[in-house]
Amino acid sequence: MNDIMPARLREARIKAGYDSAADAARAFGWEIPAYRHHENGTRAFDVEAAKRYARAFRVNPGWLLALDRVEIAPAEASRERIVEVTGSVAAGVWRETTEWPQSDRFEIVVEPTPFPRARRFGLRVDGHSMDLIFAPGTLLDCLSIFDLGIEPANGDYVIVERHRADGMRELTVKEFQRDDDGRCWLIPRSTKPEFQAPIEVGKPDPDHDDDGFVQVIAFVIGSYQPHASRLLRMARTNGFE
């Protein structure tokens, strides 16, 4: 398409009766070097420039921008922006990891993923330990950390899994922080004092003597607040999208 736009600009100029790029630029008061770059394809021109050239040469700006050559993606490609909400994650307490039955799941439309090969899933927030950031009922758009090979950084919001010695797995959502000694912490962002104690990653929660270990399993890359969650679910369930 980059080749088409300068070729069409040159064609429009010639049909408008200007023998050279310099002649056209002088006639309309444009900078000659800039216009030459656009016509030669050494610099791309934007929508505003296309409108300016289209008025001068009496052509459609969409034609100059080669919009007629843009292919419409098949409907199935839009599935890349559909995330299934498969369960809930507790904020404030650990909760046993369970996925909802298929009948209770629903889909939401999200922003394009920055990492197409990473597993992506949705979770609903229950509880108050992150209510300064994620109110109860918020839907979280999550990317599996195991598919990325990227370490969490300070300020990332993460989904955390605790493996207990009895084999139970539990989830929560927290903010990640690494201190000056290299120790990693999960920080609640809560309005409630009972939920404000940090948890060290890789260490058992001190409230449970039989804990195994704690690890980050996913990044939170987007969220949908409760006031929109019901409408998003309705839209998907009733086929409004």
The SS3 call for residue 239 is coil
Q: How far apart are CA 204 and CA 37, in angstroms?
A: 63
**Domain extent listing, the chain:** 4-69, 76-238
Can you tell me the mean pLDDT for 97-104? Answer: 70
Q: Is the pLDDT of residue 84 over 70?
A: yes
CB atoms closer than 10 angstroms to residue 77:
9
Q: What are phi and psi of 65, to 5 degrees?
A: -85, 0
What per-residue confidence (pLDDT) applies to 194?
Answer: 72
Q: Is the pLDDT of residue 170 over 90?
A: no
Most confident segment among 36-40, 65-69, 131-135, 180-184:
36-40
What per-residue confidence (pLDDT) applies to 9?
Answer: 92
C-alpha distances in Å from residue 124, one per residue of 35, 99, 140: 53, 11, 6
Indicate the pTM of the whole model. 0.55
What per-residue confidence (pLDDT) applies to 188?
Answer: 83
Q: Sorting pLDDT into bands at 50, 70 and 90, what band is 2?
A: low
Tell me the average pLDDT of the chain: 76
Strands (E), 9-128: 82-91, 95-96, 106-109, 120-127
| Domain at 4-69, CATH homologous superfamily | lambda repressor-like DNA-binding domains (1.10.260.40)
Q: Is the pLDDT of residue 138 over 60?
A: yes
What per-residue confidence (pLDDT) applies to 27?
Answer: 94
Q: Is the pLDDT of residue 230 over 60?
A: no
Question: Which of 93-107, 155-169, 200-214 shows the lowest mean pLDDT across its residues?
Answer: 200-214
Element (H, E) at 10: helix 4-15
Q: Sorting pLDDT into bands at 50, 70 and 90, what band is 83?
A: confident
Q: How far apart are CA 222 and CA 231, in angstroms?
A: 17
Q: Sorting pLDDT into bands at 50, 70 and 90, what band is 232?
A: low
CATH topology of domain 76-238: Umud Fragment, subunit A (2.10.109)
Higher per-residue confidence, 13 vs 187: 13
Angle at which helices 32-40 and 21-28 pack, to 10 degrees?
A: 130
Q: Is the pLDDT of residue 209 over 50?
A: no
Most confident segment among 24-33, 36-45, 156-165, 180-189:
24-33
CA trace torsion 106, 112, 116, 174 (10° rounding) = -70
Residue 202, sorted as left (phi over 0), alpha (psi -120 to 50) or beta, turns out to be left
Residues belonging to the chain? 241
What per-residue confidence (pLDDT) applies to 76?
Answer: 40
